[in-house]
């Protein structure tokens, strides 16, 4: 894993088109613009991006969800994967949610997304449930939880 010089900062709407590009290349059923803007309005401090030079190469959205923190979405540009960016974004989101006082953080992940599951497990997340037919194509999701 080769580290690259990054800037981690809070999302601003001027970055939305780059976020949408990453979303489309990363997910079979990408979120649309309105979902990102809604999540940004709900909790702007939890929408974090990674910049390489001035280009957005990854993002994460972490929000309060009842009594827990919730990772809503994370993605890294294909050509920047396996360089520690996803881990860096996850660590930043975990720190943010911990600073808000949350003791647990949840996320959902496709059961077939082995690479992401391994990353989450390295960060301390554990599989606590399986949701049948969670995704529009019928694939199940694991619910993973981190106890802080």
Each residue's pLDDT tens digit, 49-84: 999 988 999 999 999 999 999 999 999 999 999 999
Sequence length of the chain is 148
Residue 7 three-state SS: strand
Domains in the chain: boundaries: 7-147
CA distance 127 to 109: 10
In this prediction the pTM is 0.93
CATH of domain 7-147: 3.40.630.30
């Amino acid at each position: 894993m080769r580290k690259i010089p990054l800037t981690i900062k809070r999302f601003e709407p001027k970055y939305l088109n780059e976020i949408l590009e990453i979303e489309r290349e990363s997910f079979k059923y990408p979120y649309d613009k309105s979902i990102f803007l809604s999540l940004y309005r709900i909790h702007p401090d939890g929408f974090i991006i990674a910049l390489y030079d001035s280009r957005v190469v990854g993002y994460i959205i972490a929000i309060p969800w009842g009594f827990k923190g919730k990772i809503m979405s994370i993605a890294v540009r294909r050509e920047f994967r396996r360089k520690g960016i996803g881990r860096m974004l996850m660590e930043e989101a975990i720190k943010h949610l911990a600073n808000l006082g949350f003791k647990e953080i949840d996320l959902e992940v496709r059961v077939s997304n082995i690479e992401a599951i391994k990353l989450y497990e390295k960060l301390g997340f554990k599989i606590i449930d399986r949701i049948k037919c969670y995704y529009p194509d019928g694939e199940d999701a694991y619910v993973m939880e981190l106890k802080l």
